[in-house]
Amino acid sequence: MKKNDSKQQVAAAIQACLDKKAEELSILEMEKGSGAFTDYFVLCSGTNPRQVQTIADEVELRLKATGLRPSSVEGYKQAEWILVDYVDFIVHVFSEKARKFYDLERLWKTARRLEPSELKPKTRAKAAAKIKTAKIKTKTPPHRIASAPRRKKA
């Protein structure tokens, strides 16, 4: 899979987490040669078991709509730590207690922390086209502007 595709899919997973009010969202880009078996970890927390399940459900639903299905899902029934494995990235949805106990950020401290905005693909051509279109729409040549006759005040 292309790296850009992975980034877009991770971004979709992050948005799904945020839409279900996930807390303490973290994105870790795993280093090559670190022993990690994936490229990205998405970590977040829910405040109760039902929310933890709902976040995991939304991630699956959102990515299934793009044609991507997880290779495995673990911990759903217990809802303490749900792991949704998409091979190129893994989404970890924790209860607050389990998140503190396992502390994956400390365990993978060599991983680079990312902001969600860093995962959005850079499309300069699209941005330039939008700017150009906006300029065309806003700049009407003076000879095309029809001036309306002024009315006299009564």
Distance, CA of 37 to CA of 29 (rounded, Å): 12
Nearest to residue 116, comparing CAs of 29, 21, 2, 3?
29
pLDDT digit string, tens, across residues 83-138:
999 999 999 999 999 999 999 998 888 888 988 877 765 555 455 555 554 454 55
Q: How much of the chain, in percent, has pLDDT values that exceed 90?
A: 56
Nearest to residue 23, comparing CAs of 2, 1, 54?
54
pLDDT score at 123: 54
The amino acid present at 116, given as its one-letter code, is P
pLDDT score at 117: 79
Tell me the CATH number for domain 3-123: 3.30.460.10
Other C-beta atoms closer than 10 Å to the C-beta of 154 total 3
pLDDT score at 52: 97
The amino acid present at 135, given as its one-letter code, is K
The pTM of the full predicted model, rounded to 2 decimals, is: 0.74
pLDDT score at 59: 96
Distance, CA of 17 to CA of 79 (rounded, Å): 15
Distance, CA of 39 to CA of 16 (rounded, Å): 19
Answer yes or no: are the C-beta atoms of 60 and 70 closer than 8 Å: yes
Domain ranges of the chain: 3-123
Q: Does residue 74 have a pLDDT over 70?
A: yes
The amino acid present at 65, given as its one-letter code, is A
